[in-house]
Structure 1
């Protein structure tokens, strides 16, 4: 018998396991929670593990907030070998002796902190003429790629031994960590490829509060639901603004509000009657609705503004 799916709103901080695509992980979690609607906030490669926020119901409306957010990874790279894909999935196409020491590695990492240029790998989902690059490389074709500017906010050596190094990196949207590993190896003169990747944070969300697939499977439904976080968990970096009932109705009807508050311009988390109601955009002291929860929009649809 088919299971009954339910309306469920909120966010699960999921620790994606190895060799599971982000979409497969999403569908497994959605089925386990019997949620009628679910999405995630940005893919992780099958060979990468770590933080994958899963959004249920209303949370899917606000999931794009994390697409542009900074992300933090724990990465492992092997020096001395260059592969066809930049990671352990590819064939070794060049080998070099590794003679660098820890001081040289630390100096190399410093070279990549700040705004840098990266050449996107052919084995990526970036599109060229409507098709992802990986489709071309599967056919043995290569296409011209343009370098992209990304920002490395922090790059720290965790360990170094022999031909293997582990580093932590906090980076902007669009950064390819495997390309970073390759570029570090090229800078050291011995080449490198990525052999492990774990996402540990997205904006203010941390892997420390995530739950694994193995743990979810042995929980009772009540225990699993206790790990569902509020929708506004997705917006930790947006300043908050409280609205009264009239302001909430006006905003829900598409009107702008004059806001006399010491808040930075840009996107805000909005609250009314003690609950999260959506996201607004503040500019020049005027607040415009950007995306509101369905319940607020529905309640205001037939309301008479006084």
Structure 2
């Protein structure tokens, strides 16, 4: 019997991921519930983390990189006094410290963790080492010496400070590990730290208040879930939009440069639409756009 391929369904479903579920499992559940042919997500959340997971369906998967590259906001709690194998509460305690930072000490340290910083990922992360995932090597007990990577931290704000913990909010770019921030803050403050709670409150244009609770995905009808879909172009709101002429749209859909109306900077990434909807993402070339990703809607 031939395997059913699923439906051609396009758009974004924003899911409020609970703790204890992997990002991959969320995508699989959404794809199953909507009987979608194709699905993916824009930015992995740790299994113990909660909050915004943007699931792309169909042609929206061609816009995933734009959400993955966008700023994201995290609300998290750091527990002081212990460092763990995973840099969060799920790991085994490696070291302990009786020292505790004051709120003033913590505020004074935060500027050193903003702007363009270098960050060493946690040992238990999806970073590849000689073609293998770091978390697989870490589970086998291999000692890892991961290289520091650049990270843009737009802001890091103290929300609440208690004797044994602190709640913070971080807005950062692609590839940031909140667990590494907790670990490195602890060391900077003369103690040790790990993440006790982590929630992504928004990701690019997608916010938690607009998200579908994960436990409703298999309880609601397909029609209800489809009513919660955001259009493909929701991922492109910070990108200039130009309008294709009828002939330009035809040429673009065939993979060729096409005529557009409107203007942008030469070489700027834009998205193009016509009366039928999104046509492509491409580069503006002074009156025409060279397509890079063409939408088959």
Q: Give TM-score, length-normalised by structure 2.
A: 0.92
Aligned match of 1:292: 294
Displacement of 1:130:
0.9
Judge conservation of contact 1:80–1:191 (CA < 8 Å) in 2.
Answer: yes
Deviation string, structure 1 residues 15-73 (Cα, Å, up to 9, x no partner): 11110011111111211122222111121111111111111111122222222222211
Aligned match of 1:215: 216
Displacement of 1:289:
0.5
Aligned match of 1:303: none
- Structure 1 residue 175 and structure 2 residue 176: aligned? yes
Judge conservation of contact 2:270–2:281 (CA < 8 Å) in 1.
Answer: yes
Instruction: Name the stretch that deviates more: 75-84 or 257-266.
Output: 257-266
5 Å matches for 1:91-130? 91-130=92-131
Segments of structure 2 that go 5 or more residues without pairing to the other structure are none
Segments of structure 1 that go 5 or more residues without pairing to the other structure are 296-306
CA distance in 1 between counterparts of 2:237 and 2:163 reads 40
Aligned match of 1:275: 277
Change (3 A) 1:259 1:246: closer
CA distance in 1 between counterparts of 2:170 and 2:149 reads 18
5 Å matches for 1:1-306? 5-257=6-258, 261-264=262-265, 265-273=267-275, 275-283=277-285, 287-295=289-297
Displacement of 1:175:
1.2
Instruction: Name the stretch that deviates more: 270-279 or 183-192.
Output: 270-279
Displacement of 1:216:
3.4
Displacement of 1:209:
0.9
SS of the residue aligned with 2:217?
helix
Q: Give TM-score, length-normalised by structure 1.
A: 0.89
Change (3 A) 1:285 1:98: farther
RMSD of equivalent CA atoms: 2.1
Deviation string, structure 1 residues 255-290 (Cα, Å, up to 9, x no partner): 324667442342112111151122111256652101
Judge conservation of contact 2:73–2:171 (CA < 8 Å) in 1.
Answer: yes
CA distance in 1 between counterparts of 2:278 and 2:191 reads 52
CA distance in 1 between counterparts of 2:185 and 2:157 reads 13
